[in-house]
Amino acid sequence: MIEALKEVGVTEVVLAINYRPEVMLNFLKDFEDKLGITITCSQETEPLGTAGPLALARDKLVDGSGEPFFVLNSDVISEYPFAELIKFHKSHGGEATIMVTKVDEPSKYGVVVMEEVTGMVEKFVEKPKIFVGNKINAGIYLLNPSVLDRIELKPTSIEKEVFPRIASDAKLFALVLPGFWMDVGQPRDYITGLRLYLDSLRKRSTNRLATGAHIVGNVLVHESAKIGEGCLIGPDVAIGPGCVVEDGVRLSRCTVMRGVHIKKHACISNSIIGWHSTVGQWARIENMTILGEDVHVGDEVYTNGGVVLPHKEIKSSILKPEIVM
């Protein structure tokens, strides 16, 4: 997402965070240095909903140029067609543009009813019982600074309070998002989102994907990661910076985050391995197991799903999904 913003000329990213902003800022420091982009934080002392944080960050968002700014939900993944969004926003002359995505079962969502030719949003219908459309809010917006005048510094929903008022003034427009879209706020959806993202890379930037006799399908490996002999990796695997994968390891449909050490002949599938964790020799991790930061799984241990909170050591098998605190 940040890389895509940089490509269309964004020079500063403001994170709206309520809890421990220093953790996120430290994590993103590498992106600042690599991309030459400034990442700052606007911290809420109380939850302000999805619109209130914009009022809190007003001084960071308004620079006097009158140029629009992006507002993005950080838990969605797509191809981020920001250049097309900017072009459409400037063409319709409205006050705000939202991206929408088509879904198969609109009754589960809030539906955006829009004029097909112009993209003007007519209304929003929450979980409709009869069919009114199949387009939902994708969590990607481009807003004029004047939108901030509609938002008070208090808990406010941009989807349920601000956007309907803009739509009633005929100043809200929607652009259908091309390609894939996924809300990755839940672990299972995150793994699905990873697959969709890697499929997209295969079509757009094949050179970024790993290749070799030990690679099956789409795999993303950071250049600083070390992969041993006799491994079989893929499909749909992402391996982060500084990871060590020893000989004979099997990885599929999983994310391995920064600094993880996976020992010989371990097998990991459909799981997320948190930062600086260790997986022992011949260990088997599967069925949507989530390891927090600095978790150490012993040799020959089996985990059958569940969540392990940070800084834990797992010495015995987890036979059914549970939370390890």
224: Cβ–Cβ under 8 A, 6 or more apart, which residues? 241, 242
Q: Which pLDDT belongs to residue 22?
A: 81
Domain boundary among 155, 182, 209: 182
Question: Same domain for 216 and 167?
Answer: no
Q: Which pLDDT belongs to residue 175?
A: 97
Question: Same domain for 129 and 205?
Answer: no
Considering only CA atoms, give the Rg of the chain: 22
Question: Same domain for 146 and 204?
Answer: no
Phi-psi group of 310: left, alpha or beta (phi > 0 → left; psi -120 to 50 → alpha; rest → beta): beta
Q: Report yes or no: 216 and 199 within 8 Å, Cβ to Cβ.
A: no
Total domains, the chain: 2
What is the DSSP annotation of 36-98?
A: T-EEEEEE-SS--BTTHHHHHTHHHH--SS---EEEE-TTEEE---HHHHHHHHHHH--SEEE
Q: Which CATH number goes with the domain that contains 204?
A: 2.160.10.10
Question: Same domain for 163 and 79?
Answer: yes
Beta bridge partners of 140: 72
Domain boundary among 158, 182, 206: 182
Q: Which CATH number goes with the domain that contains 55?
A: 3.90.550.10
Mean pLDDT of the chain: 94
Q: Which pLDDT belongs to residue 290?
A: 97
Q: Which pLDDT belongs to residue 191?
A: 96
pLDDT digits (tens, 9 = 90+) for 13-65: 999 988 888 888 887 887 888 888 998 888 888 899 999 999 999 999 988 88
Please state, for a pLDDT cut of 70, what percent of the chain lies above it. Answer: 100
Question: Same domain for 122 and 211?
Answer: no
CA dist., res. 241 & res. 235, Å (int): 19
Question: Same domain for 120 and 262?
Answer: no
Question: Same domain for 151 and 236?
Answer: no
Q: Which pLDDT belongs to residue 28?
A: 81
Domain boundary among 128, 151, 182: 182
Containing structural domain, residue 172? 1-182
Question: Same domain for 68 and 109?
Answer: yes
Question: Same domain for 7 and 55?
Answer: yes
CA dist., res. 187 & res. 210, Å (int): 24
Question: Same domain for 170 and 224?
Answer: no
Q: Report yes or no: 256 and 273 within 8 Å, Cβ to Cβ.
A: yes
Question: Same domain for 120 and 12?
Answer: yes
- Calculate mean pLDDT across residues 85-104: 96
CA dist., res. 295 & res. 318, Å (int): 14
Q: Which pLDDT belongs to residue 69?
A: 96
Question: Same domain for 165 and 224?
Answer: no
pLDDT digits (tens, 9 = 90+) for 120-173: 999 999 888 888 889 999 999 999 999 999 999 999 999 999 999 999 999 999
What is the model's pTM? 0.88
**pLDDT band at residue 280, thresholds of 50, 70 and 90?**
very high
Q: Residue 59 CB: number of other CB atoms within 10 A?
A: 8
- Run of H or E including 15: strand 12-17
39: Cβ–Cβ under 8 A, 6 or more apart, which residues? 2, 12, 13, 15, 25, 28, 29, 31, 32
